[in-house]
Structure 1
Amino acid sequence: MKSGNPVLARDAFQGLPRTGEPMTIGGTVNRSAMLLALLLISAGWTWGQFWTTHNPATIAPYMWGGIIGGLVLAIVTVFKKTWAPVTAPLYALLEGLAIGGISAVFEMHYAGIVVQAVGLTFGTLAAMLLAYRSGLIKVTDKFRMGVVAATGGIFLFYLVDMVLRLFGISIPFIHEGGAFGIGFSVVVVIIAALNLVLDFDLIAQSARAGAPKYMEWYGAFALMVTLVWLYLEILRLLAKSRR
């Protein structure tokens, strides 16, 4: 098994001690709700700071601190899974600072876009969970390999774009509107949504295998990573469609 989410790699739940209470799906759901609440709290604070001053510069330190700090904590959590009960909540708080700032800037340019993006993100989450639980989408080896390959290609493409932008070169359809730009974002949103299905499947199978209790936090952290990615891609897609 392998998830398209890089923090839910095939060996994420293997080779772990089987002591104490085992991981459960219900426990992972509860941890996910806690992380989401923390993210929304910190996002709401950054959001409020922006609309108080209407100046992006006032939230820039918090936004960049959240981006960099969240990335560092994500890497730490991947390599030190036993720390997940501590690092996962901290990741959610830091990521919330970034999400709140990014959302506020988008909202300033496109009124109402954040409400639409949030609604579509949770709607997609519910739809993917329903599709997985009902068996409408079956996680076969071919399906898994296809999503993993597509996800890797997207991140590689984004990495190339970041390097090119350092030299003043930009790949137009990643950041601009138009048919190609919107089409590209639609594809990325679909791939991000399909990653949710892989995450559901791996967490379910890991719970059945009796993974340790602290892996509930790790599973919740992994879902949060995918949800943040999905939300940002939907936000980008909606912004392109408004142009």
Structure 2
Amino acid sequence: MRTTSNPAFRNLPTSAAGAPYAGFDQPPYSGPYGGQPGYGPTTPYGAPQAHTGAADRPMTVDDVVMKTGASLGVTLLVGVITAIWAQAQVAAGSTGAITGALIGGMLVGLVLSLIIIFKQMASGPMTLAYSAAEGVFLGAISGIFELVYPGIALQAILGTAAVFVVMLVVYKTGAVKVTPKLQKWVIGALGGALVLLLLNLVLSLFGINMGLRDGGMLAIGFSLLMIGIAAFSFLLDFDMADEAIRRGVPAKFAWYVAFGLMVTLVWLYLEVLRLLSYLQNE
């Protein structure tokens, strides 16, 4: 099974015996659903799962598109409403509620993401709840940025969409092949960037500024690096989704794929928003 920089896709469900979920890397079975005759796909815990009709059919590209679109739609809707509310709160001289919404959305989103990843849950309600929480978080922070840099949120949305579309085209045309070497490069780059961020946070507690997030030229370069890593992470995510479709995982797994893509989209949006704010200060 291929690896990916996305923590959601790196923890694909496996059977109790360690075999990949839904027959990954196994010879095709003779059953109508890719399982042993008389049995359906196995659950993440290795027990045979009885067929329940449409829920057991193989996942398709349309499933991934629909579930990802629904998740993204929830984030955008909640985000726009939250951003408008945040600006109204500032106009009224109240900022405490905005801070609460920002921190609350971030923490709820983090908790839900950890539950989905470690429990390996292909759940529509959980994925949509995560999307809504991220909508609150992104809406609150976007509303604050909008007050300082009018129009920056729309620019960040368009920038994020542009990167996503470009990387999808790059993947579909085969302009960049997802190879084990590329996978190692992306994962290694992400690990290194996270170490730098953690070091920057620790040193900042002692009044030491590494310059990674202060808006200077080094900060601009670091944001560009993070955007580049996020962009290449999409290639690994797309490849992982394609692999799941080829192996015939159940359709409900599309919610897990949608969640993984949302994680990368949220990360990319924040980096684009941060970069745009740096550039407007230059």
Residue 25 of structure 2 corresponds to none
Consecutive unaligned residues of structure 1, counting only runs of 5 or more, are none
Normalising by the residue count of structure 1, what TM-score does the alignment of the two structures yield? Answer: 0.94
| Alpha-carbon distance, 1:53 to partner | 2.3
Query: What code does the residue aligned with 1:112 have?
Result: G
Residue 156 of structure 1 corresponds to 195
| Residue of structure 1 aligned with 2:268, choices 223, 230, 236 | 230
- 2:21 is the alignment partner of 1:16: yes
- 2:33 is the alignment partner of 1:33: no
Residue 96 of structure 2 corresponds to 57
Alignment deviations for residues 170-221 of structure 1 (CA, whole Å, 9 cap, x no partner): 322x212232221111111111111011100110111111112221000000
* Matching of residues 128-207 of structure 1 within 5 Å: 128-172=167-211, 174-207=212-245
Consecutive unaligned residues of structure 2, counting only runs of 5 or more, are 15-19, 23-40, 42-48, 50-55
Which stretch has the larger CA shift, 97-106 or 159-168? 159-168
**Which structure has greater helix proportion?**
1
Residues matched between the structures, number: 241
Kindly tell me: are residues 84 and 152 of structure 1, through their superposed partners in 2, closer, same or farther at Cα, counting changes over 3 Å? farther
8 Å CA contact 2:87, 2:144 repeated in 1: no
| Alpha-carbon distance, 1:98 to partner | 0.3
The separation in 1 between residues aligned to 2:126 and 2:199, in whole angstroms, is 29
Query: What code does the residue aligned with 1:201 have?
Result: D
The separation in 2 between residues aligned to 1:125 and 1:157, in whole angstroms, is 25
Normalising by the residue count of structure 2, what TM-score does the alignment of the two structures yield? Answer: 0.81
Residue 98 of structure 1 corresponds to 137
The separation in 2 between residues aligned to 1:155 and 1:88, in whole angstroms, is 25
Query: What code does the residue aligned with 1:177 have?
Result: G
- 2:124 is the alignment partner of 1:85: yes
The separation in 2 between residues aligned to 1:193 and 1:130, in whole angstroms, is 12
* Structure of higher CA gyration radius: 2
The separation in 2 between residues aligned to 1:91 and 1:83, in whole angstroms, is 12
The separation in 2 between residues aligned to 1:169 and 1:27, in whole angstroms, is 48
8 Å CA contact 1:82, 1:214 repeated in 2: no
8 Å CA contact 1:46, 1:59 repeated in 2: no
Residue 208 of structure 1 corresponds to 246
8 Å CA contact 1:13, 1:206 repeated in 2: no
8 Å CA contact 2:164, 2:234 repeated in 1: yes
SS of residue matched to 1:49: helix
| Alpha-carbon distance, 1:83 to partner | 5.0
The separation in 2 between residues aligned to 1:68 and 1:165, in whole angstroms, is 22
Q: Percent identity?
A: 36
Query: What code does the residue aligned with 2:136 have?
Result: L
Residue 4 of structure 2 corresponds to 3
The separation in 2 between residues aligned to 1:13 and 1:210, in whole angstroms, is 14
